[in-house]
Amino acid sequence: MGAQGYGEKDLEKRGIMMDLGTFSVSLTVKDMKASKEFYQKLGFEKIAGVEEQNWLILKNGDAKIGLFHGMFDKNLMTMNPLDVRSIQKTLKENGVEFLTEADETTEGPASAMLSDPDGNTILLDQH
């Protein structure tokens, strides 16, 4: 069963099935160096980012985390879809409200943010 008890075919009919891309957690950190060293002890390796710009992306197997200092107020769930605008359009058609929206008149990299019922922030970030 899929979201809210719907089967996969029901979700497809409702236009809800979509590829949200790679999932990661974006962590707001107080001390970039200390956080990087901690996660490296857990086996994570840097795959992207610039520590001096206050962001790093680390990976361990299929698990990815982003470390961000001074960029977000709280931790985020991050998805990297190939087309954030079409996902945004579908979600809006299904009654989902956004905190920030991607400009649908543009192309290329864009992002949108929404919040789940418990206040957890989700970032849809197209590179």
* CATH number 3.10.180.10 given to 20-126: yes
Residue 2 banded pLDDT, cuts 50, 70, 90: very low
Percent of the chain at pLDDT > 70 equals 87
Are 99 and 115 a contacting pair, CB within 8 Å? yes
Domain limits, the chain: 20-126
Please give the pLDDT value at position 106.
Answer: 94
pLDDT higher than 60, residue 79: yes
Tell me the residue ranges of DSSP E strands in the chain: 22-28, 45-50, 55-60, 63-68, 76-80, 98-100, 110-115, 121-126
Q: How many CB atoms lie within 10 A of CB 58?
A: 23
Owner of token pair 């197209």: 126
Are 39 and 65 a contacting pair, CB within 8 Å? yes
Residues 9-55: pLDDT tens digits? 554 555 556 889 989 999 999 999 999 999 999 999 999 999 999 99
